Amino acid sequence: MYDIMKVELISVGTELLLGDIVNTNAQYLSRELANIGISVYHQSTVGDNFDRLIQCFDEALSRSDVVITTGGLGPTKDDITKEAACRYFGFTEELNDKVWEKIEERLKKYRKNNVVSENNKKQAMFPKEAQIIDNEYGTAPGAIYEKDGKKIIVMPGPPREMMPMFDNKIKPFLSKESDDVFVSRYVRFYGIGESNLETQLEDILDKQTNPTIALYAKSGEVLIRVTASGKDKEHCLKMIEKEIEKLKDRVGKYIYLIGDESISSSQSELEKVTAALLVEKKIKIATAESCTGGKVASMLIDYPGISDVFLEGLVTYSNEAKMRTLGVKEDTLKKHGAVSYETAVEMARGAAKYTGADIAVSTTGVAGPGGGTKEKPVGLVYIGVYFRGVEKAYEMTYSGTRNLVRDRAARDAINFVRELVK
């Protein structure tokens, strides 16, 4: 619908070709560029090789307007990205005194015992045609080189340097080239699978144009990104709001968060939302875990403010511990087994009684790979909850590895707590 700028990514680094590291930079940049309406048609990875990089520039700029590179800006002779870009455009590098001053300052500050090395000067070499981009988190600046309407943008390889440089400098630079703004919101679902959600929203997904709606499934939950483009942010937000209302009408009961933080889209927010709810409502919690073995406690404690309401976590993996600390009856364990509705309920109740908590959650199950029987197969987990005198347990069945079963059970336990206290 618009005349869209074409961008290609080139990742430079032999460590990528050897499979030593995963190329997360390519994913980050692709997603962020898609967010501002820029299409990436091609990603490539090359080693620290001058001729091959020049060839890549040639191929890429024959079909695209902009090439963004990551990596190869270090001080060693293996680092050749800047040099190749300058050779490609016919620019001549020279020492930039201002940049060198900054690099020296940085090196002196962070490497107290090291002398400033001469080869760092390589990172201060730029042609006069370059637009130099500050690096707030490292010595290697980035740069924008431009000739005859084609651009090469070079950025450092370490994600902690590259991401803020892109967000704060390159993204605004590229956004200026587009007339429209792009705004996204993220809707997070728990308790419904991706294909089920897709089926329930089929007509909405089929008709989407602007805003666009994209589904992502991650670690047991689904995320929907709603992106609108338009003349201004306010107008976009209104369009998004209308779309989100449709989602709420249709599948609202599975939504646990609506937010705009694009950066955290790869991580679940379920435990943060749940912990924040507990803190906000001053509901004191205790956990009693068997198969999840401390995961539920650990997920809650990842929230910094939790200390006000997290009373104690009890990892009672053995029957002795279940009896000793939680007061689970020997009779219950004998009659129903450790993995049972009854034991799960007694564990939750016992944790609440022992600690004085308002709410307690328990897990007991067969995480595998061994230990399964016909009646109680691997993957069977009971999640017990006790909330101010009311108690019950949920019978769940999971598939996958031991770690996956434990993870899903812990996340479901957290979600049951959230549903009870919200």
Query: Which residues in this chain contact a copy of itself in the complex, by CB under 8 A?
Result: 16-24, 26-34, 39-47, 49, 52, 59, 214, 216, 287, 289, 291-298, 300-302, 304, 306-307, 310-318, 320-321, 324-325, 355, 367-371, 402-403, 406
In the complex, the smallest distance separating the C-beta of residue 396 from a copy of itself, rounded to whole angstroms, is: 18
Q: CB-wise, 287 or 343, nearer to a copy of itself?
A: 287
Q: Token pair of 288, please?
A: 């009693």
Q: Which is nearer to a copy of itself, 127 or 400 (CB)?
A: 400
CB of 266 to a copy of itself, least distance (A): 9
CB of 125 to a copy of itself, least distance (A): 26
- Whole-number Cα distances in Å, 166 to 42, 123, 420: 19, 18, 41
Whichever of 11 and 96 has its CB closer to a copy of itself, that residue is 11
Whichever of 77 and 324 has its CB closer to a copy of itself, that residue is 324
CA of 242: how far to CAs of 185, 209, 245, 248, 321, in Å?
A: 12, 14, 5, 10, 52
Choose between 294 and 337: whose C-beta lies nearer to a copy of itself: 294
* Min separation Cβ 262 and a copy of itself, Å: 11
Helix (H, G, I), strand (E, B) or coil at 349: helix
3-state secondary structure of 211: coil
| Torsion, Cα of 133, 79, 146, 183 (10° steps) | -50
The answer to whether the CB of 11 falls within 8 A of the CB of 25 is: yes
User: What's the min distance (Å) between Cβ of 356 and a copy of itself?
Assistant: 9
Strands 310-315 and 359-365: unpaired
For the CB of residue 304, give the shortest distance to a copy of itself in the complex, in Å: 6
Residue whose CB is less far from a copy of itself, 172 or 369: 369
Place of tokens 């709410």: 359
Q: Which amino acid is at 296?
A: V
Q: Which amino acid is at 284?
A: K
CA dihedral of residues 38, 44, 50, 56 (deg, nearest 10) = -70
Please answer whether residues 51 and 35 qualify as being in contact, where contact means their C-beta atoms are separated by less than 8 angstroms: no
245 closest CA partner among 272, 211, 206: 211
Asked if residues 339 and 382 have their Cβ atoms less than 8 Å apart, the reply is yes
The residue among 41 and 204 lying less far from a copy of itself, judged by its C-beta, is 41
CB of 49 to a copy of itself, least distance (A): 8
